Structure 1
Amino acid sequence: MKKINPLIPLDYPDPDVIRVGEVYYMITTTMHFMPGGEILRSLDLLHWEHAAFVYDRIDSTPAQQLTETANIYGKGMWAATLRYHQGMFYVIFVANDTKKTYLYRSKQIAGPWKKSIIAGFYHDCSLLFDKERIFLVYGNREIWLTELDEKLTGPKKGGLHRLLVSDQDNPNLGYEGAHLYKIDGYYYAFFIHSLKERWFRTQACFVADSLTGTFSGGDVLVDDRNYCQQGVAQGGIVATPDGKWYAILFQDHGAVGRLPILVPVQFENHFPVFGAAGKIPKSFPTPTAKHSTSLQPLIGSDSFDHIYATPYGFAPQWQFNHEPNAAGYTLDNKKQRYLIKPQKITENLTQSQNTLTQRMTFPTCQAQVTLNAEGLQEGDFAGLAVLQGAYGWIGVTKDQGKYYLVMKSRELTEFSLQGLPLDEHAGKEQARIRLFSPLVTLQVRANFSQMKDVTSFFYQTDGTFKQLGIEHPVAFKMDHFCGCRLGLFCYSTQQIGGFAAFSQFQYENTGEEQEVIDGKNN
């Protein structure tokens, strides 16, 4: 029965969750990472595995492809809505770089997904099918309801369009992250916002007996789970087959990102009660565990010896930093390696194409990879990174025909939520030593416990790992607007034509094990 939150110790923000038959599906924000629109699957709301990616690319703009100095950090796909109606799955989201609203639909969760555009831009939108009518609720500070035409191409001519609620006078975050449901004849609109007197994420709900009626309500969850004054809010609600309700919301955990939190929900007099008296209990009755013993992992090691049925052939825990350049990488499963062949000149890790990433794990984790740098050209850099605005990495460069092991970091000099300018010059070199072989095993260790948010970098020598450079602090900021990622990278600063080969990637969650779930409702 007991489940230690966070539900998933990884960066899966802005969750939306549905149930189709006996299976639960969840989609979260994937921003600039490709393939994107990752959907997870569960049989019990407790154990989750990868189910599908909705798209392999969005519009292939120069920014989405990291062409020259363009990028979509902090933009891309935000806060999707996932719905199932009359045998069809629907995913709707806006991309904050293109300012478009995208609709994907498929008869199967695995796809193929058909893409179209809905006229208009609907921030953090939620989709509602209500008999023969279709609605979107969306907005920031002002929450609007707009009726769509039957083909989902845009607003319905003469259809309902109205303001539901307003939070304009909130000096912090006003209402956004909308989720709209019809339950037992009542309409429920859920939002995230902040307390007005201080920054604290808070879940709110407003209810009406019709879409033309007055929505009334207020805050339904003001709780930080005794974790660093970080509130829990924004997400979807779902009912089990036996009629019990749960919410999956997110909570900030510092640099590792925003992690899903499971919350029991009850309805009293047609109004939702989250947790116990508005607080999230440490343990509570949960659905009976039905998970398979062979769940597809959300993170993990990889020997690069297999081509998967994913958009780019990699194990589903991998995503590219932006849309990849097909000429610039090879998944060589026969030689069990991942090759990056830079196709542009840059001096900054964040503009490096074909960086292959995985989410980092709360509270602590470590990863290592073997790098063969023999193919580097003068001025090339390749290695293992902690990817964020204030990034850090350990890697190899070739300088005047010699190999050097380097640790670089982009100093955390900006302490506001806004973060660092993304067009700033490359990070600062913290350490450099001579390498007498281009083959080296690199390691990263991270501690996110209680928002300590520090990373350190190692290389293997004489069978042990030795630290290189500094202990580097990282932080969640709006410049990237996502949690830290591990990244395999290679970029050229002088000329293209070189390459780096990565093999034997090993990932370890070094934190405390989550409490075993017995699935009993007692």
Structure 2
Amino acid sequence: MKNNSIKSAESNPITMKKSSSYIIPADFPDPDIIRVNDTYYMVSTTMHFMPGCVILRSHNLVDWEHAAYVYDELEATEKETLADNKGAYGKGMWAACIRHHNGKFYISFVANDTGKTYLFTSEKIEGPWQRSEIKGFYHDMSLLFDDDGRVYCVSGNMNITLTEMEADLSGPKAGGINKVIIHDNPQNVILGYEGCHIYKINGKYYIFFIHMPKGKMRTEACYVSDRIDGPYTGKDVLCSDLAGWNSGTAQGGIVQAPNGNWYSIVFQDHGALGRIPVLVPVKFVDDFPVFGAAGFAPREVNVPDLRPDYQYKPLYSNDFTNPAWQWNHIPDKKLISLTSDTFTVKTAKTCKNVVQAANTLTQRTFTEHCAGSVEIDASTINEGDIAGLCALEGEYGFIGITKKNGKYKLIVAEHKIPYSPWSMGVFDNEDPVIKAEKEISSPKLKLKATFNLEHTKEQVQFAFSQNLGDNAAFEDFGAPVKLRYTLDQFVGVRFALFCYSTENAGGEATFKEFKLDLL
């Protein structure tokens, strides 16, 4: 099946590239993807992290680099600034849609803490992005600019709704189509249809989404119709594990390469590492998509490389000013100082734990085996303050320096979740449990976190060194802290540099020379 509206971006033969179907070994969930000439753009959920709504760029669907963030901050509410000591964990922006139409980029999504639907537009992927709101709330929405100039949105959970929009996307069109077009069966599923992606290909309308039938893993489904408002018919198209994770590869968009081949980028749950993107070839047989090899995701893929000499910038970085770093919620810029190799943070409130700490700087873990080290100067923390390096997620652990009775102590602490991993909408108001503690003579140390995020082995080992040089010899401290993915934060584990006060605000810590190593 060919889309005649899509032409080759190059007249020369296209170079093919072989790759693992695991294209990014890090937490980039809910992918949506487009191609503009010789460049692919992928948007991914960033939830409560700021800046937010990350856009990645590629010329071959395998190698990716950072292109832009859509916003620096979303809404300066008490939740998104962590002023309420609860935050927007597990909420924030979800499952954005990216489109390019008449020379303009469109990105739309809902935020589950504000209850709003946002629209950002720009003539350039790097921005500036103009923000507006779409009246209504459209869960996991996907936009379609139809050939006749009409604009549609599909969205929902369990019941998928088609909504015709005003031409300016300000809200539903008065008198336009607004109807449920596809139903899932609540008796047969754990998770009903959601994560919509709609396309018009050769005159037919295709809607892809995810669900989880009882007794199965995450599953991708597709429905097709000759008319935008249906009737739609379809079935499951991808129910496939990879690498023994017993976790399906599903939820994502499709895109056509210049040579006519189709591909989908979906994600797979990888425990504490997060939800990682997977590339799956797609072909159309009798006007219906076939994913991978008869509905199974392959371990390797062949893709056209549209710019084989292009040098990609890594998606991780030691530079504190690199876009690989994000703030945990909206930061107070008066309390932070940031250069390429130094990060200083001052506290302005008291709280109980890392999850409540404002102005925490984070970066994704990358691959199942990685380590991060950083120098810390905690000489200006207050009594009761804690500053350090955290493996941040719902169940977290950290190594840090605290001040007790005027003395500096090195500690390793952890927090476990006493409720179901499927629980959402809860917040952590507990003190972390100190698992190891020792008095130290100097508040200037080098801290290290080493991750093993293989299936069933998810843990982090903390270490420290009193030598601040490049050749520091690290000594393990405390037992490894177990990790697991939970839905209270809904993100993979991250490196996090933090400082918080438990008694009196105003303490300060400085971090220098962060180094991330892939092991």
Work out the CA distance in 2 between the residues paired with 1:419 and 1:186. Answer: 38
Aligned to 2:21: 5
* Aligned-partner SS, 2:20: coil
Q: Which runs of 5+ in 2 are unaligned?
A: 1-16
Q: TM-score, normalised by structure 1?
A: 0.93
2-structure distance, mates of 1:403, 1:289: 56
Is the alpha carbon distance of 1:419 and 1:155 closer, same or farther for their aligned partners in structure 2, counting shifts above 3 Å? closer
Query: 68, 92, 98: which is aligned to 2:114?
Result: 98
Q: Given the superposition, is the C-alpha separation of residues 296 and 394 from structure 1 closer, same or farther in structure 2, using an over 3 Å criterion?
A: same
CA contact (8 A) 1:349 1:426 kept: no
3-state SS of the aligned residue for 1:259? strand
Aligned-pair distance for 1:257?
0.4
C-alpha contact 2:90 2:425 (8 A) present in aligned 1: no
**Per the alignment, in what secondary structure is the counterpart of residue 450 of structure 1?**
coil
Asked if structure 2 preserves the Cα contact closer than 8 Å seen for 1:412 and 1:473, the reply is no
Structure 2 CA distance for partners of 1:365 and 1:420, relative to 1, 3 Å: farther
- Residue 472 of structure 1 aligns with which residue? 481
Please give the per-residue CA displacement for 1:93-127, whole angstroms capped at 9, x wherever unaligned: 00000110000000100000011010100000000
Deviations 1:402-448 (A, max 9, x none): 11111110025445322794233121001111111111000001111
Aligned to 2:12: none
Pairing partner for 1:484 from 490, 493, 497: 493
On the 8 A contact 1:370/1:505 being kept in 2, the answer is yes
SS at match of 2:355: helix
- Structure 1 residue runs without a partner (length 5+): 305-313, 511-522
Secondary structure in 1 matching 2:191: coil
Q: Which residue in the other structure is 1:446 paired with?
A: 451
| Residue 263 of structure 1: aligned partner | 280
User: Which residue of 2 is the match for residue 88 of structure 1?
Assistant: 104
Quick check: 1:417–1:476 contact (8 Å CA) kept in 2? no
TM-score, structure 2 normalization? 0.93
1:279 partnered with 2:296: yes
| 8 Å Cα contact 1:332/1:339 also seen in 2 | no
Q: How far does residue 234 in structure 1 lie from its aligned partner after superposition?
A: 0.3
**Contact 1:362–1:449 under 8 Å retained in 2:** no
CA shift digits 1:320-345 (9 cap, x unpaired):
01011112111145xx4110101111
Q: Identity over the aligned pairs, expressed in percent?
A: 45
What is the match of residue 129 of structure 2?
113
- SS state of the match for residue 370, structure 1? strand
Q: Could you tell me which residue of structure 1 aligns to residue 230 of structure 2? A: 213
| CA displacement, residues 59-82 of structure 1 (integer Å, 9 cap, x when unaligned) | 111100000323100000000000
SS state of the match for residue 500, structure 1? strand
Equivalents in 1 of 2:153, 2:297: separation in Å?
A: 29
- Report the secondary structure of 1:168's partner residue: coil
Aligned partner of 2:204 among 176, 186, 197: 186
Provide the rounded CA distance (Å) in 2 between the counterparts of 1:293 and 1:506.
25
Residue 228 (structure 1) aligned with residue 237 (structure 2): no
Residues 37-52 of structure 1 mapped to structure 2, 5 A cutoff: 37-52=53-68
CA distance in 2, matches of 1:421, 1:432: 29
- Which stretch shows the higher mean deviation, 418-427 or 105-114? 418-427
Residue 330 of structure 1 is matched in structure 2 by: 337
Pair 1:125 & 2:141 matched: yes
Aligned equivalent of 1:140, options 157, 164, 178? 157
State the alpha-carbon separation in 2 of the partners of residues 5 and 452 from structure 1.
22
CA contact (8 A) 1:412 1:474 kept: no
Distance 1:97 1:41 in 2: 28
| Distance change (3 Å), C-alpha of 1:291 and 1:34 | farther
Q: Tell me if structure 1 keeps the 8 A contact 2:249–2:297.
A: no
1:263 shift after superposition: 0.2
- Alpha carbons of 1:419 and 1:88: their partners in 2 closer, same or farther (altered >3 Å)? closer
Cα shift at 1:286: 1.4
Please, which moves more after superposition, 463-472 or 73-82?
Answer: 463-472
Once the two structures are TM-superposed, the CA of residue 449 in structure 1 deviates from its matched residue by: 1.2
CA RMSD of aligned residues (A): 1.4
Deviation of residue 466 (structure 1)? 1.2
Matched position secondary structure for 1:456 = strand
Which letter does structure 2 place at the counterpart of 1:45?
A: L
Match of 2:263 in 1: 246
The match for 2:82 is 66
1:503 counterpart = 2:508: no
Aligned to 2:440: 435
1:453/1:154 CA distance change after superposition, 3 Å: same
The total of aligned residue pairs comes to 497
Deviation of residue 171 (structure 1)? 3.5
Deviation at 1:228, TM superposition (A): 1.9
Looking at structure 1, the residues matched to 114 and 513 of structure 2 have their Cα atoms a distance apart, in angstroms, of 37
**Counterpart secondary structure, 1:284:** strand
Of 455-464 and 319-328, more deviation after overlay is shown by: 455-464
Is 1:203 aligned to 2:220, yes or no? yes
> CA shift at 1:291, angstroms?
5.0
- Partners of 2:57 and 2:219 lie apart in 1 by 27
Q: Deviations over 1:146-177 (max 9, x none)?
A: 00011111000000112111113234011000
- Within-5 A mapping of 1:454-469: 454-461=459-466, 463-469=472-478
1:450 Cα offset (Å): 2.1
Paired AA for residue 481 in structure 1: F
Q: Secondary structure at the match of 1:494?
A: coil
